[in-house]
Amino acid sequence: MRHRITSAAAGLLLSISMIAGPADAHGALESPLSRAAACGGTDTYAACRAALKVAGSAVPGEWDNLRVAGVAGRDRRVVPDGKLCSGGLPGFRGLDLARTDWPATKLRPGAAFTFRYRGTIPHKGTFRLYVTKPGYDPAEPLRWSSLERKPFLTVTDPRLADGSYAFKGRLPTGRTGRHLIYTIWQNSDTPDTYYSCSDVVFTAAAKKGNAPALQPPAQGGPAAPAGVPWQLGVAVLLAAGAGTAAFAGLRAGRRRR
Ligand SMILES: [Cu+2]
């Protein structure tokens, strides 16, 4: 009898969860391209291949699931130095690798920019974007002291359109070369805070247009995707101002695994 009641309760819970849909998802920065989004669909990049080799990597299936519960704004106390890109989560440790070849988006210092954060399921909350200080060395582990103390952009509840939160802002000034934009999305309707590392290259010579600077895929790499790599699709579609289909490509990448 007890078993039957439990089964009925479980069935009811299952029905409720099916009606409500997944309660816990998620997102990552797609422009400028984050490490999680870059490595989530394919292993085109050497940095991603290295990241995915780190034991227990959750990146391919859970690129949008880099979240920590209960942080409540205490990011610097909860997330350890050297583990900012993983949020301290073991499954994402590969994203902490201090490498100089993470796929990077070319940006013009001080330019207007439309940031896009893929929201696979919407949440309310505040985005805070930080940039690394002048003198940042990508070959060193990323520490809180690597980042400016104050965000260069703070946005609460931006508009979700075509599956992405899009918000305009002005890029930081006074930087050249490789840097990192660190995005913290603190939810207000869940206990979760999401973390994203986006590698960028500041170049005064960049023309207008925000397409990610994509490195050519390594020759002869394992698991070369069939057809067009989705990152290339992202570049083309972002350039064309359309993001939705690009992430259909990402999903296709996930399905192949
Ligand atoms: Cu979520």
- What's the CATH number for 22-256? 2.70.50.50
Closest CA to 230 of 209, 244, 210, 219: 244
Report the alpha-carbon distance of residue 49 to residue 187 in Å, rounded: 30
How remote is the CA of residue 182 from the centroid of ligand 1, in Å?
18
The mean pLDDT value for 126-140 works out to 98
- Whether 131 and 110 have beta carbons less than 8 Å apart is answered as no
Do residues 220 and 44 make contact, with C-beta atoms less than 8 angstroms apart?
A: no
- From the number of C-beta atoms within 10 Å of its C-beta (0-12, 13-18, 19+), residue 185 rates as buried
pLDDT tens digit string along 31-59?
999 999 999 877 789 999 999 999 889 88
- For residue 233, how far is its CA from the centre of ligand 1 (angstroms)? 25
Cα angle: 20, vertex 73, 54; to 5 degrees? 75
Distance 220 CA to ligand 1 centre (A): 36
What pLDDT, on a 0 to 100 scale, did the predictor assign at position 44?
A: 87
pLDDT digits (tens, 9 = 90+) for 52-103: 999 889 888 899 999 999 999 999 999 999 999 999 999 999 999 999 999 9
Q: With 50 as the cut, is the pLDDT of residue 188 above it?
A: yes
Here the tokens at position 141 are 């582990």
Indicate the pTM of the whole model.
0.73
SS3 labels along the chain: CHHHHHHHHHHHHHHHHHHHCCCCCCEEEEECEEHHHHHHHCCCCHHHHHHHHCCCCCHHHHCCCCEEECCCCCHHHHCCCCCCCCCCCHHHHHHHCCCCCCCCEEECCCCEEEEEEEECCCCCEEEEEEEECCCCCCCCCCCHHHECCCCCEEEECCCEECCEEEEEEECCCCCCEEEEEEEEEEECCCCEEEEEEEEEEECCCCCCCCCCCCCCCCCCCCCCCCCCCHHHHHHHHHHCCCCHHHHHHHHHHHHHC
Q: What spacing in Å lies between the alpha carbon of 1 and ligand 1's midpoint?
A: 37
Predicted confidence at residue 207, as pLDDT, reads 52
Average pLDDT, the chain: 78
Is the pLDDT higher at 142 or at 214? 142
Instruction: Calculate how far, in angstroms, residue 23's C-alpha sits from the geometric centre of ligand 1.
Output: 7
Q: Inform me whether the pLDDT recorded for 6 exceeds 90.
A: no
Task: Give the model's pLDDT for residue 9.
Answer: 42
CA of 222 to the centre of ligand 1 (A): 31
Number of CB atoms found within 10 A of residue 135's CB: 7
CA of 79 to the centre of ligand 1 (A): 19
Instruction: Give the pLDDT confidence score for residue 4 in this predicted structure.
Output: 42
Average pLDDT (1-10) is: 40
| Pairing mode, strands 192-202 and 105-107 | parallel
